[in-house]
């Protein structure tokens, strides 16, 4: 349960965060990769800290704590994205979420392997990997659908108010959610480009916010079941 929760609410952000940084802050791919550092560093460094904590606290307690931290990180993602706050504030949520992911990264396989006899360690490792990837894949599909739906509806609503025809707004929304905002602007009337750019960035932020809320709910459920 903790492994599924880890994959579905924490590790899945490795997929969504770079897209968010590019489509909500208009970073290019290289800058977005560098901007992921606040999430990546605690994720890599946390296992060294949890190795010491494991001597004091049980595996169940550490997994529960990791899921709780991941939940808080996702809630912060949702709030900061909804408000479309600057990156230097948003990175605080990445640090929190990275700590939760790092704690889980260091403990999930260890706890699963420690719960079976030594001759079943390979089976436990395979089960851990399978459940984690199931969590990631299902979460990518569900969170991605929510992100796309919310961003599309918001973009179409605002774009039609700005003067785009409904069909054109819906076609443009699909390009926004796929990360092609520049393509939308290139084909838009010049007097609407600035407003459409802002609309596209904020619509994607709103979609990511809703998806993050669901990720927080998943982390909460996994936390309750693990506890």
* Model pTM score: 0.92
pLDDT for res 195: 92
Close Cβ partners of 77 (under 8 Å, ≥ 6 residues apart): 13, 93, 97, 208, 209, 212, 215
pLDDT for res 187: 84
pLDDT for res 48: 77
**Token pair listed for 224:** 């309750």
pLDDT for res 123: 86
pLDDT tens by residue, 11-29: 999 999 999 999 999 999 9
Across the range 63-68, mean pLDDT stands at: 94
pLDDT at 5 over 90: yes
Provide the 10 A C-beta neighbour count for residue 183: 13
- Enumerate long-range contacts of 152-159, CB under 8 Å, 24 or more apart: 152/176, 152/177, 152/203, 152/207, 154/199, 154/202, 154/203, 154/206, 154/207, 155/199, 155/200, 155/203, 158/199, 158/203, 159/196, 159/199
pLDDT tens by residue, 160-175: 999 888 898 999 999 9
Chain length of the chain = 227
pLDDT at 105 over 90: no
Q: Does residue 129 or residue 146 have the better pLDDT?
A: 146
């Amino acid at each position: 349960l903790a492994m599924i929760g880890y994959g579905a609410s924490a590790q899945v952000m490795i997929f969504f965060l770079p897209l968010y940084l590019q489509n909500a802050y208009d970073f290019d791919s290289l800058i977005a990769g560098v901007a992921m550092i606040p999430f990546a560093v605690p994720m890599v460094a946390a296992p060294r800290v949890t190795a010491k904590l494991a001597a004091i606290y049980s595996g169940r307690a550490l997994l529960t704590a990791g899921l709780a931290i991941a939940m808080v990180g996702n809630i912060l993602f949702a709030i900061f994205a909804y408000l479309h706050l600057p990156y230097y504030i948003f990175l605080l949520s990445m640090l929190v979420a990275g700590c939760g992911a790092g704690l889980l990264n260091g403990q999930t396989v260890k706890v699963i392997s420690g719960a079976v006899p030594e001759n079943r360690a390979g089976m436990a490792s395979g089960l851990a990997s399978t459940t984690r990837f199931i969590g990631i894949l299902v979460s990518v599909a569900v969170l991605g659908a929510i992100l796309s739906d919310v961003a599309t509806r918001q973009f179409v609503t605002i774009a039609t108010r700005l003067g785009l025809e409904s069909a054109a707004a819906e076609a443009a929304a699909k390009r926004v959610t796929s990360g092609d905002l520049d393509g939308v602007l290139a084909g838009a009337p010049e007097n609407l480009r600035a407003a459409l750019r802002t609309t596209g960035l904020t619509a994607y932020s709103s979609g990511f916010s809703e998806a993050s809320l669901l990720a927080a709910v998943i982390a909460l459920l996994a936390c309750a079941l693990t506890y």
